[in-house]
Structure 1
Amino acid sequence: MVESASPGAETHEITIAIVVFKPDQQTVLRTIQSLRQALQFTDAKTAKIFLIDNTPDGANYDWLSESLAGLPFEIIHGQGNVGFGRANNIVVDVVGKYHLVLNPDVEMEPDALATALAFMDDHKDCGLLTPQAFNPDGSRQYLCKRYPNVFDLLLRGFAPCGVKQLFATRLDLYEMRDQIGDVVFWDPPIASGCFMFFRGDVFKKLGGFDPRYFLYFEDFDISLRAAKFARIAYVPKVRIVHEGGNASRKGWWHIWQLARSARVFFWAHLLKLS
């Protein structure tokens, strides 16, 4: 079922896909409000927001009506919990010239989309843009990653803080802290799925996300696939705040999904372990 504020098969300069599952209303509202402000800063003539709800049995969207008022949007639901990648792929055939995959816990600076659009217009070889990110407390997040190995993933996801400190240099290298700063950096191997700004034809050529990933690692996979025919750019002038989350703190179901997706990822990419 689709609830639409702008029906029809339109072509848009920018489309935005936000996948939610049993969403925290206040978090999503903050994301929508920041998105509204960011769209107002752009010169994009047409835009459309797709809110894709994986919550089983539908939901009540009255709480969103005021926040979405005046915005071109569709709410897509009824597919059940099909996973992050499959949900995003529902709109793969209707993405705009540019397409943003956006987490529902991301707030962006008002000029973030305008800056991203300008960068893409100036750099035709860029197919995927990743931003500079901060935690809600103002500390920096490192969204770009080097190709992982199992030990790094276990350290980062599950090790106590004291153990992480022992391997801080190793983890810093994995998070590319020696490369990622306040200037544009080209071709990081992996970009985070919380904010992936694609050239629309690149997202279509990829066929969206690999549906084998229910949750976790789909961003690793699509980054590596995108890099085969387009460049990835870290652009620090595009700034976001990302609440983020740690799978180990979310319970055993999330830990299982992380482990399952890691297995799929490493098999798919020829077990490039070090």
Structure 2
Amino acid sequence: MNPSASRPEIEGLSISVVVYRPDRAQLASTLASLSVACEILHASRPGLPVELCLVDNGGLPDVSAALEALRNRRVACTILSGHGNVGYGRGHNLAIDRSASRYHLVLNPDIDQDPQALREALDFLDSHADAGLLAPWIGDEHGRQQFLCRRYPALFDLLLRGFLPAPLRGLFARRLARYEMRDQINDCDIAWDPPIVSGCFMLFRTHVLKQLKGFDARYFLYFEDYDLSLRAHDVTRVVYVPAVRALHHGGGAARKGSAHIRMFMLSAYKFFNRFGWKWL
């Protein structure tokens, strides 16, 4: 039985973070930035229930100090473990099934968010009832903007962006800029309905996420956020809000070795089979 089936939706925010053998220092940094953001959120919304579900797909290091800091800032913390490495999307679904909050944040373990991020995000959703999925401005570890909103990709776009050496990408700069929506995405303007947004930080109205039945479990890793983004447009509006800010320390599949390249290609095959192949 769905654990939340008999629980009415309540005002509040739930957050899920899925980990598999994470870097301890980076995970601690992610939880520390979340703790500060929750403190500022509570300052503007006293008594707001906030809960974190840390989903352990394997290899969770000791982050008890970081979790204690969150609890001291009135964030309820739960660790889900013992299910094995079920994949990124299925891991988040374990937490989504338990959630009865109004909003749910899907968060990567390599994200450091701005202290004002959660307050800005919830304020925006509270004032825009038509928005059901919010994506933030994302920067890299040097503060340079990462363009993680995307148009529907051709296979060629994915190969260029994921595997072409950086010095050669300049030959296809105009094409990649279009794929990355650089004509619409910047650090100051809200952009409505980008086709695809990144799974590293996805803030949903929980009822929308449950209507979509969360992530498609057929993807073990990669493209589950592309899939969920495209399906979200069927039931709600998606919005990019640059006032909500975070830094992303993750790397692409090509930089993580052959196993990740294989998973990337397998998930790409599933994605294009479902939504339609576009080669060039």
Please tell me the TM-score bracket, short chain as reference: over 0.9
Identify the residue that residue 198 of structure 1 maps to in structure 2. 204
Aligned to 2:82: 78
Preserved CA contact (<8 Å) 1:29 1:67: no
Paired amino acid for 2:240: Y
Question: 2: distance between equivalents of 1:120 and 1:189?
Answer: 19
Q: Tell me the equivalent position of 1:221.
A: 227
User: Aligned equivalents of 2:228 and 2:151: distance in 1?
Assistant: 14
Q: Which AA in structure 2 matches 1:24?
A: D
* Aligned position for 2:54: 51
TM score, norm. by length of structure 1: 0.92
Offset, 1:91? 1.9
Of residues 86, 89, 92 in structure 2, which corresponds to 1:88?
A: 92
Q: How many residues align?
A: 265
Equivalent residues of 1:13, 1:98 under 8 A apart: yes
2:275 is matched with which residue?
A: 269
Check 1:50–1:12 CA distance in 2 against 1; reply closer, same or farther (3 A cut): farther
How many angstroms does 1:244 deviate by? 1.9
Residue in 2 that maps onto 1:207: 213
User: One-letter code of the match for 1:170?
Assistant: R
Describe the SS at the equivalent of 2:52.
strand
How much does 1:246 deviate?
Answer: 1.4
CA distance in structure 2 between the partners assigned to 1:214 and 1:67 by the alignment: 32
Where does structure 1 lack aligned partners over 5 or more consecutive residues? 1-8
Amino acid at match of 2:152: Y
Change (3 A) 1:60 1:240: closer
- Whether the aligned pair in 2 keeps the contact of 1:12 and 1:48 (CA below 8 Å) is no
Query: Partner of 2:119 in structure 1?
Result: 114
Within-5 A mapping of 1:96-111 = 96-111=101-116
Deviations 1:217-272 (CA, angstroms, capped at 9, x unpaired) = 00000000000110000000001011121110110000000000000000111324
Q: Distance in 2 between matches of 1:40 and 1:104?
A: 19
How many Å separate the matches in 1 of 2:260 and 2:151?
Answer: 23
- Cα distance in 1 for partners of 2:209, 2:105 equals 10
Q: Which stretches in structure 2 are left out of the alignment for 5+ residues? A: 1-6
> Which one is further off, 166-175 or 62-71?
62-71
In 2: Cα distance, 1:267 partner to 1:103 partner: 26
Partner of 2:154: 149
Find the residue that maps to 1:91 and give its secondary structure.
Answer: helix
User: What percentage of residue pairs aligned between the two structures are identical?
Assistant: 47
Question: What displacement does 1:61 show?
Answer: 5.0
Residue matched to 2:3? none
Q: Is 2:155–2:278's contact at 8 Å kept on the other side of the alignment?
A: no
For residue 97 of structure 1, give the secondary structure of its aligned residue in structure 2.
strand
Cα distance in 2 between the residues matched to 1:65 and 1:200 = 23
Moved over 6 A (4+): none
* CA displacement at 1:67 relative to structure 2: 3.8
Task: Answer yes or no: is 1:166 the counterpart of 2:171.
Answer: yes
Q: Residues 65-119 of structure 1: CA distance to partner in whole angstroms, max 9, x if unpaired?
A: 5444423110011111000000000022232100000001101111110110011
Checking the alignment, whether the CA contact within 8 Å between 1:120 and 1:126 is kept in structure 2 is yes
Q: Structure 1: how far apart are the matches of 2:226 and 2:108?
A: 15
Q: CA deviation at 1:164?
A: 0.7
Aligned counterpart, 2:189:
183
